[in-house]
Amino acid sequence: MQTHYWNLQTDTDGAALREAAALIKKGEAVAFPTETVYGLGADGLNGAAVRKIFEAKGRPSDNPLILHIAAKKDILKLTSGLTKQAEILIDKFWPGPLTVIVAKSSIVPDEVSAGLDTVAVRMPSHPVAAEMIRLAGTPIAAPSANISGKPSPTDAETVLADMQGRIAGIVDGGVCEVGVESTIVDTTGEVPVILRPGGITREQLEAVLGNVELDPALAGVEAAKPKAPGMKYRHYAPKASMYVVEGEALKKLPLLAKEAAKFAPVAVICGGEVAESMQRTQNLHILNWGSGKTDLAVKLYRMLRRCDKLGVELIFSEGVTEDGIGLAVMNRMRKAAGRQVLTSDEIEALLKNSSQLKSFVLK
């Protein structure tokens, strides 16, 4: 399949988005930027078109999709009714990086909802995404525009690497601003539940809703039938084995990384303070995200992709506190690592036994 590529920096008359939207109308899949990550979109009311998303990504069919709309009123035809919680969230946070789970209407295909009686809907704030949806004249179903399981793309170059020849087109609208996917909130129960943390923080939600619960899947209890994207399968994963290092264990990370790099190429994803405490060697790659969790959110997926390009055997990543955007970042980081976390005692044991450390690095 030929994949059309439109760079909006050189598009002076809006022809690119019109052509991309025309492909959506014809039932094709097209990647486009949102404020969170790049989405892989198709006509959300056309089951055959939606199936092309699953085929291009290699995505399990029981993993539901999000419908993207251009105006708040557009959700009304997609649902059999909104709860008061949903109305509050829509009024406060749309357009923006928030997805609401609502009872679905009969026009939503099972391919979108994975056979559930609910559907996920959001209204992106990115002007390119909003105009694409408006021109297509239909809700656009769109997960992240990557091969299923790999880190999500925040720039068009990454989309091209994964999707060239698999989809009809890619709209290059520059680098995404938020860097992690939207927050997903189930509004169908008595108490709103965060199914996936993201660009809207728990604190922001609680400020307008009061009590907000976290789904047990966020603590590692795998969902039998996921109600939203990202709940069941391993996501955001680099090729190399990855471990998260948090709290007191961070003091031992510089020495662990230095010793591990004696056996194979190693990458460390960390903030400025940890990065400054480490010495670069031939086999040790220090990927510094900067000074705050917002910087980490924007750069995490690109750093994971960078690790793939470097061909490292092992990745250590500095954990952060879960307040604010930290909840979303740690959710992604732990999933990327397959929930592998190194404790201070475990690091100490590895440092005391060179052969054990070598086996750990090369396994």
Confidence check: pLDDT of 21 > 70: yes
Percent of the chain clearing pLDDT 70 (strictly above):
96
Q: What is the mean pLDDT of residues 9-21?
A: 88
Decide if 209 contacts 89 (C-beta within 8 A).
yes
Per-residue pLDDT, 279: 83
- Output the pLDDT for position 219: 81
The mean per-residue pLDDT over the stretch 333-353 comes to 95
pTM (global) more than 0.75: yes
Q: What is the pLDDT of residues 208-233, one digit of tens each?
A: 999 999 999 888 766 556 666 666 55
pLDDT of residue 224: 55
Q: What is the pLDDT of residues 37-55, one digit of tens each?
A: 999 999 999 999 999 999 9
Instruction: State the pairing for strand pair 341-342/241-245.
Output: parallel
Angle between helix 84-93 and helix 202-209 axes, rounded to 10 deg:
120
> How many Cβ atoms sit within 10 Å of the Cβ of residue 299?
18
Q: What number is the average pLDDT over the span 148-174? A: 96
Query: What is the arithmetic mean of pLDDT over 326-346?
Result: 95
| Per-residue burial over 13-23, b = 16 or more CB atoms within 10 Å of its CB, e = otherwise | eeebbebbbeb
Residue 14 is predicted with a pLDDT of: 85
Q: Which pLDDT tens digit goes with each residue over 139-160?
A: 999 999 999 989 999 999 999 9
Averaged pLDDT, 87-107 = 98
Instruction: Give 286-315 pLDDT, tens digit per residue.
Output: 999 998 999 999 999 999 999 999 999 999
Q: What secondary structure does DSSP assign to 138-201, as a single string?
A: S-EE--BSSSTTSPPPSSHHHHHHHHTTTSSEEEE----SS-SPPEEEE-SSSS-EEEE--SS-
Distance CA 28, CA 52 (A): 7
Question: Mean pLDDT, the chain, as a whole number?
Answer: 94
Please check the confidence at residue 363 and state whether its pLDDT lies above 80.
yes
146 close to 162: Cβ distance less than 8 angstroms:
yes
pLDDT tens column, 229-275: 666 556 788 999 999 999 999 999 999 999 999 999 999 999 999 99
Residue range 102-124: average pLDDT? 97
How far is it, in rounded angstroms, from Cα 187 to Cα 120? 10
